[in-house]
Amino acid sequence: MTLKRIAMILLAALFLLALGGVAAQDEIVIDFYFPSATANDAEGIFQRYADMFEEENPGISINPVFTGSYTDTRNTILTELQGGGAGPDVAVMLSIDLYSFAEEGYIIPAQGFIDAMDDGAAWAADFFPALMANGVDEAGNVWSIPFQRSTPILYYNADLLAEAGYDAAPVNNAELVEIAQALTTDERHGLLVPVAGGFPIWMYQSFAIAHGRNIVGDDPTEVYFNTPEAVAAVEFARSLGTDLGVGPAGGAAWGDTPVAFLAGQAAMIYHTTGNLTRILRDADFEVGVGFLPSGPAGEDGTGYGAPTGGGNLYLFDDGSKSQAELDASWNWAMFLASPEIQADWGATTGYIASSASAWETEPLASLAQEHAQYGVARDQLQFAGKEFSSYATITIQGIINGTLESILTGEAEDAQAAMDAAQAQIDGILAEYR
Amino acid sequence: MRSGSRSQTIVTRLQPYLLIGPTLFLVLLFNVLPAARTVSDSLHKPARGLNAAGKPAEFVGLGNFQDIFDAGHYMGGRFLRSLRNTLVFAIATVGVGLPLGLLLALLLQHKQPLLGLWRFAVFYPSLLPLIGAASIWSFIFSDSIGLANAVLRSFGHPGLNWLGDRNLVLMSVIIVNIWKQSGYFMIFFLAGLQNIPRDIYEAASLDGAGALEQFAALTLPLLRRTLLFVVVISFTFAFQTVEQLQALGEGGPADSANLLLYLIFQNISERRNWGYVNAMTIVLIALVLVFTVSNFFLFEREESD
């Protein structure tokens, strides 16, 4: 009797397990890789979004995986895929990683899904054009969808500026230098620009655009690193730490910059909007936010400007995935890009919500009304330029970063000569794609 | 009977091969095969341009090596700088860290008050995970908020840009490495010192030998085996340095603190550079071999003299 009963129970258990196995097979699991470049609780936030999505979409389960910095994320995914692994289904990667992955054939364009929508064109047009620029190839196909996007803005300690008699943010480089010099003391930097620490190209692009010409064109084979504007921009950035003496020679490090600003050791900083919420929360002084100042005043073609930055949503497929799996990936990406999530994400982190309608959605709508600072980055987008991206992006970005660092630290005194040499190396690489 | 003994001989002959078989298989799979692949890849240029993923690599002979030793090439400039840094780094960390470890061992070998605390204080950096230790130091070295500059400023010095000044950053990384490793080396020296019989020191004292003479004539020669071991592992460690750089400025600015293995790591993600990455790996392995073998011969010869 007992033996028989045990056997029955075992059989029942096996049956249930088998049922569970069938159910698990029917469920589509989306592996979602995401990086974080700021001090926000990205893991907690994404788990919350995953829970919301799973509730609305039975049969799809999201597996969020935190993969470190943007660079770590890119390298993790490349290593997995190059080694024959499965990799993610959807990932947030830098918007400039497009060609690195498209060249290898690891990602698929979002264009096909957009075309299949009833109102696809209107849906795509809701995103800010400046944020779409890096996700579109030269033929106009949309590959990736803007998600955690940012742009550098000027943060200033309004209390300090007021003490020195300035009641508004500087609007051009001449004013920027004047205010920075007035606020520089032995204990305080007037202006910190994080061009030190391995990644000067982003902040440098701000100066290049402000001086009138971006270093990258629309086509992924166009790089303009030795133009007069490009040289003037790096010389201006270098002078902040040398002749003008408003910051450390060679520039500040990325992570130190907001910390120094919050500690009152820097009166103004250039930094990403991705830190806006944290800075507003932690500052014990009035924080002002402004457009990055324009370049040399009064010359044609110069003005405000900043590169965009941050991450987009990419869809992965090596040709082995079923339509149902791809649809699930696309639904998750659309969910994250929806106005509701973008409004929540923008309010929680300070990243620029990527679509116009997100700004009319709560909680962002009232937050932007309450704190004018949130709207500044959005309004600056109309002057924003494409972030640097080309074929062989990683290698060419490495050449540009190395050249900028050697100029900024004073190792290469002749900026023009160093940039000519770099441009020759870059042209040599891009020749293979032209 | 005869056939029985013959089969027994075959078994006896096969036995050692059977015994080392599993190990041999693993060594082949995980050491020899990847090494052979590295050599082969270092002689090829991966396909480049659009849709390169499916195309075969092109055999270029020593072309990758020519490129990495060409200062005008985009990879060559970085490689040569990192190679020089690696040599400076290895010689500096071993040249300072090893004598420091020995000195600490000499100071902390005898009974004294709070001995355990002193030993722990010196040894604990090597217990910390490298990346954590380096992160702590990146705060210490921070330009505006760091401890190092706070100390300097309290003496009226304006402070140094430890991780931003191209002339300083390699030294900053070396300092962290020495801090991290000298306690570790101390442990080996302490063990070596324990093995030296005390009575020979007593005999030397009776003969009128001072502390310095005893150190030069007794301690150092008797520690030779330990010394060889520590020299070899410390050079190997130095060539393997990666983690610190991740937290301490990623080898920058402009590669002024970059080291070979980290440079290899930095360039591994883009297919076009795989030939260079493999060529650099071979140079690195050759370097480690040269150092290890020459150290070995140096000490062995002294031993046989």
CA–CA distance, B158 with B138 (Å, rounded to integer)? 19
CA–CA distance, B28 with B35 (Å, rounded to integer)? 9
**Whole-number pLDDT of residue A143:** 95
**pLDDT in 10s for each residue of chain A, 434 residues:** 566 777 666 666 666 555 554 445 578 999 999 998 766 678 889 999 999 999 999 999 999 999 988 888 998 998 898 888 889 999 999 999 999 898 888 999 999 999 999 998 999 999 999 999 999 988 889 999 999 998 999 999 999 999 999 988 998 898 999 999 999 998 899 999 998 876 899 999 999 998 888 999 888 999 999 999 999 999 999 999 889 989 888 888 888 899 999 999 999 999 998 888 889 989 999 999 999 998 875 554 457 889 999 999 999 998 888 899 999 999 999 999 999 999 999 888 878 899 999 999 988 899 888 888 888 888 999 888 899 999 999 899 999 999 999 999 888 999 999 999 999 999 999 998 88
Instruction: Evaluate whether B120 touches B272 at the Cβ level (below 8 Å).
Output: no
Q: Which of B206, B267, B217, B230 is nearest to B82 (CA)?
A: B267
**Residue indicated by tokens 């040399």:** A296
Q: How far is CA A343 from the centre of its chain?
A: 17
Residues of chain B below pLDDT 70: 1-5, 49-53, 301-305
Across the interface, of B78, B253, B271, the residue whose CB is closest to A196 is B253
Say how many residues make up chain A. Answer: 434
Distance linking the first and last C-alpha atoms of chain B: 54
Q: Name chain A contacts of B53, Cβ cutoff 8 Å.
A: 103-105
**Whole-number pLDDT of residue B304:** 53
| Pairing state between β A189-192 and A266-272 | parallel
pLDDT tens, position by position, A164-204: 999 889 988 989 999 999 999 988 999 999 988 768 999 99
pLDDT tens, position by position, A37-54: 766 678 889 999 999 999
Q: Name chain A contacts of B252, Cβ cutoff 8 Å.
A: 196-198, 401, 405
**Whole-number pLDDT of residue A300:** 46
SS3 labels along A325-358 = HHHHHHHHHHHHHCHHHHHHHHHHHCCECCECHH
Number of H helices, E strands in chain B: 15, 2
B269 in contact with A at a CB cutoff of 8 Å? Answer: yes
The interface pTM score, or ipTM, of the predicted complex is 0.79
**Whole-number pLDDT of residue A22:** 47
Mark yes or no for CB contact B50/A395 under 8 Å.
no
A105 in contact with B at a CB cutoff of 8 Å? Answer: yes
CA–CA distance, A344 with A144 (Å, rounded to integer)? 20
**Whole-number pLDDT of residue A8:** 65
Contacting B residues, span 76-115, partner chain A, CB-CB under 8 Å: 77-78
- Of the residues B144, B149, B266, the best mutation for testing chain A's interface (the one with the most A CB atoms within 10 Å of its CB) is B144
Mark yes or no for CB contact B50/A429 under 8 Å.
no
**Residue indicated by tokens 């500059």:** B149
The pTM assigned to this predicted structure is 0.84
Say how many residues make up chain B. Answer: 305
Mark yes or no for CB contact A405/B252 under 8 Å.
yes
Q: Name chain A contacts of B49, Cβ cutoff 8 Å.
A: 432-433
